[in-house]
Structure 1
Amino acid sequence: MSTPPTTMPVHAMLVLGTRPEAIKLAPVARAMAAGPQFEPIVVTTGQHREMLHQMLGMLGVDVRIALDVMRTRQQLSDLTARLVRELGTVLREQRPDLVVVQGDTTTALAGALAAFYEKIPVAHVEAGLRTGVIDNPFPEELNRSLIGRIARWHFAPTPAAARHLTDEGVPDEQVFITGNTVIDNLLWVLAEGSGTSAFGTDDNACPARDGDMIRRAGPKRILVTLHRRENQGERMRGMGRALTRLARRGDVEIVLPLHKSPAVRDALLPELDGQRGVKLVEPLDYLDFAATLAECDLVLTDSGGIQEEAPSLAKPSLVLRTTTERPEAVEAGAARLIGTDPDAIVTWAERLLDDPVEYRRMATAGNPFGDGEAARRILGQLAEDFAADVPVGLTTSGPYSTA
């Protein structure tokens, strides 16, 4: 794809508020800042304020504008209203040429909606993910569907995600398969080599990427991430009990970075605090998280992004949810959707820990989410469209046209 030079840089406002958005937009921001065609304006909303700005600095991203929208135990309706209002003010002040949002957070939806109100075109990174169940995950499934009605550029990570968009009526010429920027960032961070694993140090440990369980004298290493709203409460307490049962095997080391959400901590701490074999840690910065992922043997998660990262490092994943918007990993065999029942969690974890054939089958399934070149493809398409003599307004054709 050619990328003709523009006479003036395109002012691109990248709106992000959470750690996953920062991780996945960092490669786009770095690429924009490295050349003359774009001037990135990074705006943070502060959804994950405590962990965000330090991490962005580590990822080589400069923040231009920082908002402060979070309030203690704030309702989604209040957060959404506050975000749209404050982002609308920023857009009127800055008047960027386009707004870039990522994924399915409340920040992403509010950024797209505020841009629509100001008649500024929107680029959606990681577009087209769907479970088909409007409230699972909640509110992400609705958020990403609504952004799909607004965006001018839909940067889909996989062919399946692209098909979701065209099936919904998005014109083919506005959908672009790029791979996922999370792979760009993971490879960049591991190449930097500056992260520290949260697992116990072991000079004999050697992260394996060939599908074999890491050979070491010490325990098998399990990385766990839990935070989903729909899993909070009794369901998450049950997950905590399942982790306790796994820890009592005596041959595993479980690392669980505790999400800042009080609801998550209220559910997990009573079950796991002080449990031998379970290491509860504060949220890891991304460099340390990448190093921890590289050293684990198995991932248990209800998160989204880690389902994309783990296959790049040959780490089998058990997805503790009833639906996933990333079925490609499941279809490839790199992940398994096992639900939230504690017995199922223990059964499947032990199967992978004890059965080397099953473990190797999942670990060598490959990664369907990209090759580390997603940001380059995104910038190439944007540069080409802004340089060409075609409209780059809200939309150009099809059922969403504003012409």
Structure 2
Amino acid sequence: MSSLFSTWPATRAAGLARLDGFLPHAGRAYAARRNHAVVAPTVSGLSPYLRRRMVTEREVLASVLARHGETAAEKFIDEVFWRAHFKGRLEGQPEIWTRYQTALVQGQAALDRDPALARRYADAVAGRTGIDALDAWVGELEATGYLHNHARMWFASIWTHTLGLPWALGAAFMHARLLDGDPAANTLSWRWVVGLHTPGKTYLARADNIARYTEGRFQPKGLASDAPPLEEPPFAETWASAALDLTPPEGPVLLLITEEDLHPESLLPADAAVAAIQVVDAVEMQGRPRSDLVRAFTNEALDDVAARVRLIWPDRPVHRGPLDADTLAPAASAAGVSTVVTAYAPVGPTRERLDVLAPQLAARGVTIKRLARRYDALTWPHGRGGFFGLKKRIPRLLDQLDLRPNAQPTLL
């Protein structure tokens, strides 16, 4: 088995080292080779760190711009902004997430009704379909927690169009095993493959394309020759940009750190009155636990942020525990505060838990303040429609975010 990456130290230092090592390749070399799913460093390997903001988008963009400039690094810069596009789309239409959860239930029910479908599903998740590429990618997912983005698209296409398996079950299988598993990017990418993200437009994996971009590693047989799109009812809700709060908290607070944002040192101003810190356990999607590899990476990342905040606020207590009212209310009381501040969590399991938690804490006299980043406030509103609506605004966004070389830094 071959893979782009085999080890993933779950620390901010490791993420910064990976960024530093990739910088020479982030310009025209990336543009030329980014679609090749091979061992050579054609992509950055930064996604597990960006997904949890162990390394922030602003840090990556500023470093790449300083090294290559906007023209040479255009393709890599686009890829960073694709993450914002997906998150903005899910924020503006959260019903997409609800429909995905419904599709999971329907997919499982289909397996229960159809023994032949259930056998195809069992063969797919065990990597024994006989399709060389898909079987190898299942092994790589299990062993490394990573797949090249091109391989993810091929995987999703073969899963749905060749094997005829429910798309949502494939999305859940992949999300549970990806170290960079992101509710927005993963869900919307799978929806695009089956014709739901851009209605009527699907993605069809072709054997010649796979052979070309894996440089002969795979020669899959029996792939589907067409990809009929799925259809769904129109969305009932209107588009609504998230109401993001950018105002730093006043007075002493309990800082709540979730997996969604592990760089609190750039979330809060340097003079923030942090009375105590609570680093909470990762939140799983109900009924869909992530792999042991992903859970180990996430726990190590949470340990890393706990160690860093102990250095930043050396005289403040730092605790680990679950994300629930029975943990947070006593922690706030012990710290003598009535406000919990946390990074704004985008649509996904953590956000769902926070939505449930907020009224529970309010009943105990504790308020949760969800503090957003300027990067999200500027980029997420452009998640509506296709990516190119955001792409044409990238030069302006780079200016607004002070990301040109020699620009003065602001909060990330």
Q: TM-score, normalised by structure 1?
A: 0.31
Higher strand share: 1
TM-score normalised to the size of structure 2?
Answer: 0.31
Q: Give the number of the structure with larger relative contact order, counting CA–CA contacts within 8 Å between residues 6 or more apart.
A: 2
Higher-helix-fraction structure: 2
